[in-house]
Amino acid sequence: MRATIKDVALASGVSIKTVSRVLNKQPKVSDSARKSVQQAIEKLNFRPSAAARSLVGHRTFQIALACDNPSPFYVHEMQAGIHERCRQDGVRMIAQPYDHRAEGLIEEIASLIDTTGIDGLILTPPISDRQDILDLLARREVSYVQVTPSGTVETSAVFIDNQAAAKVMTRHLLALGHQRIGFVMGHPSYAGSVARHAGYVAALVESGRTPDPKLVREGGYDFASGAAAAEALLALADAPTAIFASNDEMAAGVLSVAHRRGMAVPGALSVAGFGDDALASFVWPPLTTIRQPTRQMGFQAADLLLAPAQDKASREVPFELIRRESTGGAPRR
């Protein structure tokens, strides 16, 4: 027979209310009582039903991810990190793709809240920067965590320092002797796009160079836009010897154009990306890139959402420069 919450209470010598508080990770439970309950849970192999937990704690034990990102690698890693953290607490994750430009986006988010009764929402860029959505969540009293928001963060958020990361990559290319470095910027509606471009510019200025706007092309975080940007950059009379793309998919597009033109990488052209998605190791040559720990960011976002109110402080996740074969010394001209 399946153990009940009453069985756990009897086995641990505490009240049903105390068992409920432990199950729902609520405060005001002594360490000794919490330990007794956890031991009883393990001994009885107790598995609380979501329905019973929601009745006691007024929660549905469901959280949702609202995401609009053209990169399947980013979406997969974000979902994997969130799911890993949710599984620890027996919480269900709902992954919902959206178009941040859709006219009915507010209504879609409101419908998600009304039909599921979610306990919280994780927002990725550019949805995380939609003030009308944040206002809706505030009115509905739905907890949320923003991933890499722009501007001043007034609520819980998980982020990397995109500007510093892009600056590190640009410095790396400068150290290899590249004088003209092309930059493929992501869509400006994403806060990270603007920050990465700012880091690229800051590194050039820091080195005493004047940024050349002709060396910057806008992309859409997908392979095709990276390829189109590379075609434009490499068609310049004074073409760059290195191209830094704002994500790995666009960098893969740059690589494809270099290969089609018969350009040796990195002999004739160095190529760098951002993200360190699985794609970065699949292409040839493997990409030098910035490791953005997307899975860890998803895990931390879910952890913030599930944390007690007093532990909702924003968290910065460190990035890392990953050197691979796609970058090398500048060619002589």
Q: What CATH number is associated with residue 150? A: 3.40.50.2300
Same domain, 24 and 68: no
**In a domain? residue 324:** no
In a domain, 322, yes or no: no
Same domain? For 254 and 201 the reply is yes
Tally of domains in the chain: 3
CATH number at residue 32: 1.10.260.40
Quick one: pLDDT at residue 310?
63
> Cis peptide before 293, with omega less than 30 degrees from 0?
no
Q: Which helix (H) or strand (E) holds 63?
A: strand 62-67
Is 325 inside a domain boundary? no
Containing 206, the helix (H) or strand (E) segment is: helix 191-206
Burial 318-333 (b: 16+ CB within 10 A, else e): ebeebebebbbebbee
> 269 with 173, same domain?
yes
Predicted confidence at residue 154, as pLDDT, reads 61
Strand ranges (DSSP E) for 98-142?
Answer: 120-123
- 225's tokens: 């836009």
Q: Cis peptide leading into 213, omega within 30 of 0?
A: no
Q: Give the whole-angstrom CA distance, residue 319 versus residue 172.
A: 15
Domain annotation covers residue 36: yes
Q: What pLDDT shows up at residue 296?
A: 96
Q: Which residues of the chain have pLDDT under 50?
A: 51-56
Identify the helix (H) or strand (E) that includes residue 172: helix 162-175
Q: What is the DSSP letter of 45?
A: T
Contacts of 314 (CB under 8 A, 6+ apart): 153, 156, 157, 158, 159, 304
Assess if residue 100 is contained within a domain: yes
Answer yes or no: is 123 within a domain. yes
Beta strands in 178-288 (DSSP E): 181-185, 216-218, 242-245, 270-272
Between the alpha carbon of residue 7 and those of residues 39, 58, 212, the distances in Å are 12, 22, 71
| Per-residue pLDDT, 68 | 83
Q: What is the pLDDT of residue 333?
A: 66
156 & 304 share domain: yes
Q: Residue 34 domain-assigned?
A: yes
Same domain, 156 and 166: no
Structure confidence at residue 5 (pLDDT)? 76
Report which residue type is found at 213. P
Question: 167 and 275 share a domain?
Answer: yes
CA–CA separation, 139 and 120 (whole Å): 13
Report the C-alpha gap between 125 and 147 in whole angstroms.
7
- Count the Cβ atoms, other than its own, within 10 Å of residue 4: 15
CA distances from 267 to 161, 229, 276, 279, 304 (A): 31, 20, 22, 21, 45
Asked if residue 33 lies in contact with residue 14, where contact means CB atoms within 8 angstroms, the answer is yes
Q: DSSP assignment of 269-294, as one string?
A: -EEE-SB--THHHHSSSPPBEEE--H
281 and 185 within one domain:
yes
DSSP reduced 3-state for 267: coil
Give yes or no: residues 67 and 185 share one domain. Answer: no
| pLDDT computed for residue 55 by the predictor | 41
Predicted local confidence at residue 19, as pLDDT: 80
| Same domain membership, residue 175 and residue 110 | no
Backbone phi and psi for residue 246, each to the nearest 5 degrees, phi listed first:
-75, -5
Sheet of 181-185, strand order: 216-218, 181-185, 242-245, 270-272
Please give the residue range of the domain that contains residue 208: 162-292
